[in-house]
A and B are shown apart, each in its own frame.
Chain A
Amino acid sequence: MSVPTDQPAIIERQHFQRLIDALIRKGYRVIGPVVRDGAIVYDELAALDDLPQGWTDEQDGGVYRLKRRADDALFGYAVGPHSWKKFLHPPHLRLWQARRNADGAEFTAETEPPPRFAFIGVRSCELHAIAIQDKVFLQGSYVDPTYQARREQAFIVAVNCGQAGGTCFCVSMNTGPQATFGFDLALTEVIEGDRHYFVAEAGTDRGAELLRELSARQAGDEERRQAAQTVARTAQQMGRTMDTHDIKALLYRNHEHPRWDDVANRCLTCANCTMVCPTCFCTTVEDTTNLTGEHAERWRRWDSCFTLDFSYIHGGSVRVSTKARYRQWMTHKLASWIDQFGTSGCVGCGRCITWCPVGIDITEEVRAIRESEAEQ
């Protein structure tokens, strides 16, 4: 029996494959979490067995380890090194090609049809990150056509976190763990005794339609209570916290603070934090030619404010010191982003903490500056 779609429904664990099948049938490339090389990354899914069943992660500054869980949860971990930006805002992208001809050159725009993605397992912090990239790529004076084409078609299956990671702080950033917008479907995984099911909530008409196709039955009060409890429990487990009160003014008035020198001693300027950040969006372009000079291409690739080239203008780089580069990144992320886009650039996912090879912790850097003021 089909259910009214504004009501949460139940997808039993043993029927989860139907969700993947339905999305594949609709022509989506289904992307979700998979275990690869000792981490949970985002890649193409064909079957339920591809999901990291029974795995979890332990995360801390500069440390990530996969561990076995006591149960068979499909989504019992926090976010890994990948984010959805690699699909919506690809790391390498050819922008155009040109061929020399009698009149000069003939340009060809890229005409590949954009891939239609369905993302399974998008966390609340990641929905917020996507919303931030929407502001950057879709809501400014210039729309990014690649992002737009991929984003508009993407089908999003969110998952409310059943457990927080060691470097998570979405509660501080007001970005989770409950998915509240930006999804077609949102799932909460519940394992309780012998029962293993998902409470599914539709966020859009196409999400509701999918639920109807799956003939999911309406969730009972107890099942809904269990789901709500799961998310509430996660909110209590945050590995990190950040006091965001007055944070813009705090960082602006501490532009010259000894802590920037301190972090510069530890920072590798390796750019890992910006690469893993789900909101960092900067790119550079590279032109290539073939040996005969008949053919040229322009490529775009992810860039980082931690490189010297990033701020290179006539005469040299603007941000030569590590201090200037770290300060630029953190102040942009937490303060000037608010002026630029009307929102913080940080969603509290913790990736920059975990994937910094030396474990620099953005929450700790903010705390150090804030506490130094309290001492004065």
Chain B
Amino acid sequence: MAKRKPKLAVWKFASCDGCQLSLLDCEDELLAVAGAVDIAYFPEASSRMVKGPYDLSLVEGSITTPHDAERIQQVRQSSKHLVTIGACATAGGIQALRNFSDVKEFARIVYARPEYISTLARSTPIAEHVRVDFELRGCPINKHQLLEVINALLHGRKPNTPAHSVCVECKLRGNVCLMVAHGTPCLGPVTHAGCGALCPTYDRGCYGCFGPMETPNTGALNQQLVQLGMTPPEVMRVYRSFNAEAFRKESESHGE
């Protein structure tokens, strides 16, 4: 009898779906993935829904509602391995900007009947709610890294997803440093690798989509950003994006 294929589930919480799409975006490798695992639950891709338990759950999105806070518990219970994918699931995402304000105030301004809105005061990463086996960073995640994680799990090895700076990726590619050669502000030195230095390769400073690298010295970088002409409020804002919660200390040190 053939070995049973591991069952894969893909779950969505508060998110834009971009990270799940990275799986569909695998194109050339997608058939190989479908051959290696049983895609048992992936509503974005298929209406076929096989009941749990699942060998691997990929979880996209953050927890922003009381309902989702309960639902993630069920996902955990039905999953042997739980891997969070993307900045929302690993850091709370762009919607964690609410964490720096009063969400009730937003609801009052936006909705005619705010009492119908059941939302939490903070957007939180999955790991604040349940045990997470592996966190894959990025906004969105890099599809090659996603394949690497699935691959590593299937073969019982550690995924190669280095936590060093984006600078290392730039240098491996032979990129000329934007900050040094052009004076362009860049978060590369404090940002977790994984994108392959996508923006700097196309002449844009790094936006920090993959969150903080292993030992980010943002204090030292910020002084340089100011030297390059950024004002303290601008420095605050570069950290208030997809990984605002992960870079909370950095943005708060530059005030409102």
Contact with B along A267-290 (1 / 0, CB 8 A): 111111001100000000011111
Nearest residue (CB) in B for A86 is: B174
Nearest residue (CB) in B for A62 is: B180
Q: Is A214 an interface residue (CB 8 A)?
A: no
The reply to whether B181 and A276 contact each other, CB–CB distance below 8 Å, is no
Nearest residue (CB) in B for A289 is: B155
The reply to whether B180 and A275 contact each other, CB–CB distance below 8 Å, is no
Nearest residue (CB) in A for B37 is: A291
The reply to whether A357 and B32 contact each other, CB–CB distance below 8 Å, is no
Segment at the B interface, from A101-109, A204-212, A226-234, A301-309: A301-309
The reply to whether B219 and A265 contact each other, CB–CB distance below 8 Å, is yes
**Interface residue ranges of B181-227 to A (CB < 8 Å):** 181-183, 186, 188-190, 203, 213-217, 219-221, 223-224
**Interface residue ranges of B51-76 to A (CB < 8 Å):** none
Q: Is B50 an interface residue (CB 8 A)?
A: no
Give Cα A308 to B32, complex, Å.
33
Question: How many pairs of residues, A versus B, come closer than 8 Å at their CB atoms?
Answer: 136
Give Cα A245 to B25, complex, Å.
59
The reply to whether B150 and A291 contact each other, CB–CB distance below 8 Å, is yes
A365 to chain B, nearest CB (A): 15
B148 proximity list for chain A (CB < 8 A) = 288
Q: Is B255 an interface residue (CB 8 A)?
A: no
The reply to whether B217 and A272 contact each other, CB–CB distance below 8 Å, is no
The reply to whether A291 and B154 contact each other, CB–CB distance below 8 Å, is yes
The reply to whether B223 and A358 contact each other, CB–CB distance below 8 Å, is yes
The reply to whether A265 and B220 contact each other, CB–CB distance below 8 Å, is yes
B167 to chain A, nearest CB (A): 4
Interface size class of A (residues with CB under 8 A): 35 or more
Instruction: Knowing A271-B165, A275-B171, A357-B224, say if A291 contacts B217 (CB, 8 Å).
Output: no
B171 proximity list for chain A (CB < 8 A) = 91, 271-272, 275-276, 302
Give Cα A62 to B172, complex, Å.
19
Segment at the A interface, from B89-97, B156-164, B230-238, B240-248: B156-164
Q: Is B33 an interface residue (CB 8 A)?
A: yes
A271 proximity list for chain B (CB < 8 A) = 164-165, 167-168, 171
- Chain B contact residues: helix, strand, loop or mixed: helix
A355 proximity list for chain B (CB < 8 A) = 177, 180
The reply to whether A81 and B172 contact each other, CB–CB distance below 8 Å, is no
The reply to whether A267 and B217 contact each other, CB–CB distance below 8 Å, is yes
Nearest residue (CB) in B for A36 is: B176
- Give the residue of A66, A302, A357 whose beta carbon is less than 8 angstroms from that of B179: A357
- Give the residue of A65, A267, A288, A304 whose beta carbon is less than 8 angstroms from that of B168: A304
The reply to whether A37 and B217 contact each other, CB–CB distance below 8 Å, is no
Q: Is B22 an interface residue (CB 8 A)?
A: no
B186 proximity list for chain A (CB < 8 A) = 357
Give Cα A269 to B217, complex, Å.
8
Nearest residue (CB) in B for A275 is: B171
Q: Is B151 an interface residue (CB 8 A)?
A: yes
The reply to whether B151 and A37 contact each other, CB–CB distance below 8 Å, is no
Q: Which 9 A-B pairs have the closest CB atoms?
A: A275-B171, A270-B189, A37-B176, A270-B167, A291-B36, A270-B165, A268-B189, A39-B176, A307-B164
Q: Could you list some 30 contacts between A and B, CB below 8 A?
A: A37-B175, A37-B176, A37-B181, A38-B182, A39-B176, A62-B224, A64-B181, A65-B181, A81-B181, A91-B171, A265-B217, A267-B220, A269-B165, A270-B165, A270-B213, A272-B177, A275-B171, A289-B152, A290-B32, A290-B151, A291-B33, A291-B36, A306-B164, A307-B163, A307-B214, A308-B214, A309-B163, A309-B164, A357-B179, A358-B221
Sample of 14 more A-B contacts, CB < 8 Å, known A38-B181, A304-B168: A64-B180, A80-B176, A266-B220, A268-B167, A268-B220, A275-B171, A286-B160, A288-B148, A289-B151, A291-B32, A291-B35, A292-B35, A304-B164, A357-B186
Residues of A within 8 A of B (CB): 36-39, 41, 62-66, 80-82, 86, 91-92, 265-272, 275-276, 286-293, 301-302, 304, 306-309, 322, 354-355, 357-358
